[in-house]
Amino acid sequence: MNIENIVIDLNNYITPIEKDIDKELYKTSQLELEDGNIGIILNKLLGANLYEGYLYIKKKDKIASPLMYKGKLNKDKADQYFEELNNMINNENINYIISKIKSFK
């Protein structure tokens, strides 16, 4: 499966996020996927005890991000969401991951 085509398709499923909020990277994970990468970002929103988490899929300079975005999570919920996404990308095939992204609300 061509990750570049997947990235183009999944750009229809990204969540617009506010970019001018100060944040710092809290946790991340990345795996090779076919001919690209899939990863998880968990950020801590500075000035608040809140977090945001999401997936990204990329190939070189093409990226679909953020996917399956969840924001305003407390630390425990953020850690739980990170583990849920991590288990998914480590244990499921690309077709399953794509279907989860497309059905995410």
d(CA 71, CA 34): 28
d(CA 88, CA 54): 12
| 7 band by pLDDT with thresholds 50, 70 and 90 | very high
| 2 band by pLDDT with thresholds 50, 70 and 90 | confident
Please list the residues that pair with 31 across neighbouring strands: 38
Which of these, 43, 60, 53, lies nearest to 89 by C-alpha position?
Answer: 53
Domain boundaries, the chain: 3-103
Considering the chain, what is the average pLDDT of its residues?
A: 94
pLDDT score, position 34: 80
Which of these, 11, 6, 8, 40, lies nearest to 25 by C-alpha position?
Answer: 40
pTM, two decimals, is 0.92
pLDDT score, position 17: 87
Residues 33-59, mean pLDDT to the nearest whole number: 94
Neighbours of 82 (CB within 10 A): 20
For the stretch 66-104, pLDDT in tens is 999 999 999 999 999 999 999 999 998 999 999 999 999
Q: 55, 6 in Cβ contact below 8 A?
A: no
